[in-house]
Amino acid sequence: MADLVQHYLDRIRAEQIELRDGTLASYIPELADVDPEGFGLSLSSSDGYVYESGDTAVEFTIQSISKPFTYALALSQIGQDAVDARIGVEPSGEAFNEISVDDVTKTPKNAMINAGAIAAVSLIPGASPDERFDRILAFYSACAGRRLDIDMDVYLSEKETGNRNRAIAYMLTSFGVLDGDPDDVLDVYFRQCSVKVTSTDLARMAATLARGGLNPLTGRRVVDAGVVRRTLSVMVTCGMYDATGDWVSAVGMPAKSGVGGGIVAVLPGQLGIGVYSPRLDSRGNSVRGVQVCRSLSAQLGLHFLTVGRESSSTLRAVFDVSPGIRVYEVQGDLLFAGAEQVLRTAEHERGEYDVAVLDVTRVDDINDAARGMLTGMRASLTAAGKEAYLVDPDGRVVPADRRDDYDAIVFRTLDEAVDAARQSGIG
């Protein structure tokens, strides 16, 4: 049920709430002064349904999470070849603010470190810094599905203190990577880092990437699928800086962190995650954010190398066999996102039936997260005064040796389930 997923998120967040390791970013007063306890977790399904837990309405600055989005915009505006001529796609294994370029090409190693991000800003067409920034802000807003805005205080402080970024921009100019005035480019970079978002905005932006560039909330295509694939590839290999290898092994989702305390993570085709908690580890990644993503991935089976064999839609058919008895026929490989879709549909419609019959005869493979959700569905439905039956001839959801625990609700055929419902006076 939707309630069940909500419960998972609340629990995963609660598990980390006592974690107070790490420190706030302190290079500007606006970041040093935020409430260190702020903690929000948002998850958007690929059809745009958002679950929220904790401080999901708190705004914070996007900071480096802006980088993949500006990179995507550059790719879509001037094409991959032109972008590749200025920015590489190799992991640097360096800190985000390393003053470095590739030894051979003399271009930034990737668009997730500051050097590459500043270069990406310079590739956005625009006659003035204002025009360039307007284009960037419109793009972020289209991904989030609402008009975003900038935190002026953060912007002014970033600009005042940004000597290291200034060093990077002037170095790039000397190598011929930046055209035009480096201070104009930096001004736009400081502004883009200062855009305010919530964890829910990040989840929605992530869901837009998960859907290959289509915002599931607005139904608008924001960018094409090839650009998203390239952007996600760079997020996989470079998104968490020098912690990327560990992240990919343990979490397995393209992601990006920011020193404002946000993390965005994308499970292609399935969902988008946004987390906010401002205490950072030594690499500039949110401490709780990293832990929450590790738990989500482990507990809900979200590693992107856990791939279902079939991509066909999960709900094959929904029909009433007689008044009060509704059948949900599920098919294919069932992972977290597919199970969530089935459960949410059944919950949404629960006013329309007395018995929900979940027929998993055509399910090929199922993981523990989906299995737990389908068995948990019964408890939620009985709490709402409904009954839930399962047609599971091959023991995909309830293995044969546990069938006795579920006596009278697990059946071998749909006819048996329907007969049982009728005998209990329904239909």
Binding segment (CB under 6 A) for ligand DON, from list 252-260, 305-313, 369-377, 387-395 = 252-260
Per-residue interface string for the shown chain with ligand DON, residues 335-354, x marking contact by CB under 6 A = --------------------
Rule CB under 6 A: say whether 108 interacts with ligand DON: no
Catalytic residue status for 140: no
313 is in an annotated binding site: no
Query: Residue 162: how many CB atoms within 10 A of its CB?
Result: 21
Given 116, 129, 284, 289, the residue binding ligand DON (CB under 6 A): 284
Nearer to ligand DON, 193 or 369 (CB): 193
Active site residue 418: no
Near ligand DON by CB under 6 A: residue from 96, 140, 353, 411: 96
Stretch near ligand DON under the rule CB under 6 A, chosen from 69-77, 222-230, 257-265, 271-279: 257-265
The reply, when asked if residue 158 is annotated as ligand binding, is yes
**For 194-224, where are the alpha helices, taking DSSP H only?**
199-210
189 is catalytic: yes
CB of 116 to ligand DON, least distance (A): 12
With contacts defined by CB under 6 A, how many residues of the chain interact with ligand DON? 12
Tell whether residue 64 is among the known ligand binding residues: yes
Asked about 398 being catalytic, the answer comes back as: no
CB of 162 to ligand DON, least distance (A): 7
Phi-psi map region of 398: left, alpha, beta (phi>0 left; psi -120 to 50 alpha): beta
Closer to ligand DON by CB, 158 or 340: give it. 158
Per rule CB under 6 A, is residue 60 in the interface with ligand DON? Answer: no
Identified catalytic residue from 241, 276, 353, 389: 241
User: 189 labelled as ligand-binding?
Assistant: yes
Under the criterion CB under 6 A, does residue 97 sit at the interface with ligand DON?
Answer: yes
- How far from the centroid of its chain's Cα atoms is residue 26's Cα? 27
From the candidates 189, 276, 328, 389, give the one annotated as an active-site residue.
Answer: 189
Is residue 207 within 8 Å of 216, Cβ to Cβ? yes
CB closer to ligand DON out of 209 and 264: 264
Query: Which two tokens mark 5?
Result: 């997923």
Q: Does 63 bind ligand DON (CB under 6 A)?
A: yes
Part in contact with ligand DON (CB under 6 A); list of ranges 119-127, 179-187, 251-259, 374-382: 251-259
CA distance to 157, 158, 381, per residue, from 161 (Å): 6, 5, 56
Q: Is 70 in the site for ligand DON (CB under 6 A)?
A: no
Which one of 259, 266, 275, 398 is the catalytic residue?
259
Q: Is residue 64 annotated as part of the catalytic site, yes or no?
A: yes
What are the CB-based long-range contacts (under 8 Å, 24+) for 305-314? Answer: 305/252, 306/252, 306/335, 306/367, 308/332, 308/333, 308/334, 308/335, 308/338, 308/365, 309/333, 309/364, 309/365, 310/364, 311/269, 314/338, 314/339, 314/341, 314/342
Among the listed residues 50, 87, 120, 259, the single contact to ligand DON using CB under 6 A:
259
Q: Is 416 helix (H, G, I), strand (E, B) or coil?
A: helix
Q: Which of 44, 46, 67, 297 is catalytic?
A: 67
Q: Which stretch binds ligand DON (CB under 6 A): 15-23, 256-264, 270-278, 397-405?
A: 256-264
Residues 6+ apart with CB under 8 A from 130: none
Rule CB under 6 A: say whether 165 interacts with ligand DON. Answer: yes
Sheet with 50-54: strands ordered across:
50-54, 40-45, 271-276, 262-267, 255-257
Return the sign of the alpha-carbon dihedral for residues 303, 251, 293, 110: negative
By CB under 6 A, is residue 158 in contact with ligand DON? yes
Count the helix, strand and coil residues of the chain and give each as a percent rounded to the nearest 5: 45, 20, 35
Q: Which of 44, 45, 46, 64 binds ligand DON (CB under 6 A)?
A: 64
DSSP string, 243-309: GHHHHHHHT-S-EEE-TTSEEEEEETTTEEEEEE---B-TTS-BHHHHHHHHHHHHHHT--TT---S
Whole-angstrom distance, CA of residue 257 vs CA of residue 239 = 7
Residue 277 contacts ligand DON per CB under 6 A = no
Work out the burial of residue 203: count CB atoms within 10 Å of its CB; fewer than 13 is exposed, 13-18 middle, 19 or more buried. buried
Would you say 347 and 2 are in contact if contact means Cβ atoms under 8 Å apart?
Answer: yes
- Report, as residue numbers or ranges, the catalytic residues: 64, 67, 189, 241, 259
Residues flagged as binding site for substrate:
64, 114, 158, 165, 189, 241, 259
Q: Footprint of ligand DON on this chain (CB under 6 A)?
A: 63-64, 96-97, 114, 158, 165, 193, 257-259, 284
